[in-house]
A and B are shown apart, each in its own frame.
Chain A
Amino acid sequence: MSTTAMTGVQRIADAFASTTKRAALMPYVMAGFPTLAESVRIGEACVQAGADVIELGVPYSDPLADGPVIHEAGTRALAAGANVAGVLEVARALSSSIPVVLMCYANMVFAPGVEAFVERLARTGACGLIVPDLPLGEAPEVLAACESRGLALVPLVAPTTTPERMAAIGAQARGFLYAVSVVGITGERSGLAERFAEVVAKARASTQAPVALGFGIATPEQARQAADAGADGVIVGTRLVRAAAEAEDPAGAVGALVGELAAALAPTDQRSAS
């Protein structure tokens, strides 16, 4: 099947099914940071280096789930002129080569109207949408708009999520279920891995969809630990955004890190490196 004939949900499923790594590698890229054009190059470098899915962040004035690194990148992207049209062009440019899932705060989805926002997103060829401040009870309208266009509305679960909520959220997951690995906001952390297996197992039991682990994962070692814990996908955000902020050549720097993460997830690598 050609990618254009597949729905977004199918393309994501295909990416999880066809990866040759132990878990799908899912880098987070802030659209418009440092500029719109450079964020496209960063995304392309991720594809080259072995990414399976890209999570494309929409810069927002008040990102409540994000730590200082991603918040600052969003603030700078907005100052550099990033707007929805520009962000969606980034999504369109990357979608021809990789499944793109947009990460966007709720107010930006509701501002133009849910139908209008989701329709615009679908037209770019993007595959899905993550709204970090849209818990289950507030999601029906967005879910319906995504479903009717074959887009995946990817929900999040946290270590604090109760078993009843977990079951309800898992049943509604499309594309994948985003398991937040820590109680907290986005950011790099050390010594997380003890809880990975528990978090993944609870998420897995609640859903038919693949389970991707994210928040706090920064190093190849942590990526390997996530795969060891049984995650179907590994999301790496803050570490890559920080590299883009610090490097002279953001795309080169992010590409190199994604390459190291991909190597850590290679089936031959197993635990031999540690």
Chain B
Amino acid sequence: MSAPTEERPLEHRFGPYGGQFVPETLMPALAELEAAWSAARVDPGYRSELDGLLRDFGGRPTPIYRARRLSERAERPIYLKREDLNHTGSHKLNNALGQVLLAKRMGKSRIIAETGAGQHGVATATVCALLGMECMVYMGVEDTRRQRPNVQRMELLGAKVQPVDAGAKTLKEATSAAIRDWVTNVQSTHYVIGSVVGPAPYPALVRDLQRVIGDEARAQMLEREGRLPSRVIACVGGGSNAMGIFAAFIPDEEVELVGVEAGGEGIDTPRHGAPLTVGGRAGILHGSRSAVMQDEEGQIVQAHSISAGLDYPGAGPEHAHLRDSGRARYVAVPDRDALGAFREVARLEGIIPALETAHALAWVMAQPGGELDLVCLSGRGDKDLAEVLGAAGA
């Protein structure tokens, strides 16, 4: 159920996007990873081990839930794909399980990861505990502050959390630090990248591992409603939960795909995290060409979002391609509206969503037009309580 069975080659490029813009030192490791994933994803032994863990350890399949009071208010059915019910509380576990299992097959002894919201770090630390691997997670100092409970969880799970003090001290800098570690320790180490970003084959690899979200949800919708949703909506940081749920619906042309980015303080200001929505010239960040926030000389600029997981100046290359081809569209929701949705969904549904997810929920609540909406509820919001209650007090 979790990986594609066809032997289609892994994409290096998505239209003009993607590629491998990394130091030469990493090139053999990328080739090795590509070969390993090409073999593993069609290997019944690997897949049954992964599927077994996703089920028994992770709690899959996750349900779809027809949100009662949200649907009533919106006067149309709104379904939530409950990735918050995964072990560790978000979709990030799907990718971490797949990649750490793969690293083990490749004979790597050490795992590194970057994290913004901390959910990918927690998922990776969890799987490393399960499989007995050494784990180091890079996290911006600002994010260690605003996602404190996740730092504590990672440490409890036996991972070392390395705070990153450069630049804006958020996800971009944590990713750069992880890549530098990988360049230095590439022979022993696998880098578990947390989203559909990075050099090939990562965007395709992470999508393959996350498409379980869409594959399940599509079948569940058909079973429950006897039809496909008219709109599928997901938040986009790097874009892994969105790519995961979109992937299954791409051939269904009648289904509208909507990615919701971080509008921050407004996309008419420089303080946002919405490179796909804003558009402009493509750029290169963390090893691939995609939508990137940059100045006219090509310096990457700092993103801003209330939500650490969306506070990133780039997005996955496949999303940039889906945008250009018109198959998906991308919109931005500002901090303020995401905070509003966070509280509203908690009271209306008894579900506290992650602040990242709250962006997608805010858009759905404000945008009628669908007849049947499916939202990826990418994670739960326990980690965000201090930040949200702090923002409300301020």
Contact = CB atoms under 8 A, between A and B. Distances in A.
B285 A107 contact: yes
A70 to B, nearest CB: 11
B27 interface: yes
B186 A135 contact: no
Contacts of B19: 137-138
A106 B24 CA distance: 13
B284 A106 contact: yes
A36 to B, nearest CB: 15
B294 A107 contact: yes
Prevailing SS type, chain B contact patch: mixed
B368 interface: no
A160 B297 contact: no
A62 B294 CA distance: 11
Contact of B184 (A108, A161, A183): A183
Interface string B264-299: 000000000000000001011111010010101111
Contacts of B298: 105, 107-112
Given A62-B176, A62-B285, A158 B300 contact: no
Contact of A158 (B23, B285, B287): B23
A37 interface: no
B21 interface: yes
B134 to A, nearest CB: 18
A133 B292 CA distance: 17
A132 interface: yes
A157 interface: yes
A78 interface: yes
Contacts of A84: 297
A62 B314 CA distance: 13
Given A111-B296, A183-B187, A67 B284 contact: no
Given A160-B28, A162-B28, A184 B22 contact: no
Contacts of A156: 23-24
B179 to A, nearest CB: 5
B172 interface: yes
B24 A135 contact: yes
B166 interface: yes
Given A107-B284, A111-B283, A111-B294, A65 B20 contact: no
A185 B180 contact: yes
Contacts of B294: 107, 111
A67 B176 CA distance: 11
A60 interface: yes
A138 B25 contact: no
Given A61-B167, A64-B176, A64-B183, A138 B20 contact: yes
B355 to A, nearest CB: 25
A180 B299 CA distance: 25
Nearest to B200: A137
A169 to B, nearest CB: 8
Nearest to A117: B298
Contacts, number: 112
A165 B300 contact: no
Contact of B28 (A67, A133, A138, A161): A161
A74 B298 CA distance: 14
A71 interface: yes
Nearest to B300: A61
A214 to B, nearest CB: 12
Contacts of B287: 64, 133
B297 A135 contact: no
Contacts of A15: none
A142 B13 CA distance: 18
B187 A160 contact: yes
Nearest to B301: A61
A65 B180 CA distance: 7
Given A78-B299, A157-B24, A183-B184, A110 B284 contact: yes
A83 interface: yes
Contacts of B187: 160, 183
B247 interface: no
A64 B22 contact: yes
A134 interface: yes
Most chain B Cβ neighbours within 10 Å, of A110, A159, A180: A110
Interface of B: 19-29, 166-167, 172, 176, 179-180, 183-187, 281, 283-287, 289, 292, 294, 296-301
Given A107-B21, A133-B21, A185-B183, 11 more contacts: A60-B299, A64-B22, A107-B283, A110-B283, A111-B296, A112-B298, A135-B24, A135-B27, A160-B26, A161-B24, A184-B183
29 contacts: A60-B299, A62-B176, A64-B180, A64-B183, A67-B180, A78-B299, A106-B21, A107-B21, A107-B283, A107-B285, A107-B294, A108-B299, A111-B297, A111-B298, A112-B298, A133-B284, A135-B23, A138-B21, A155-B24, A159-B25, A160-B187, A165-B27, A180-B24, A183-B183, A183-B186, A183-B187, A185-B23, A185-B180, A185-B183
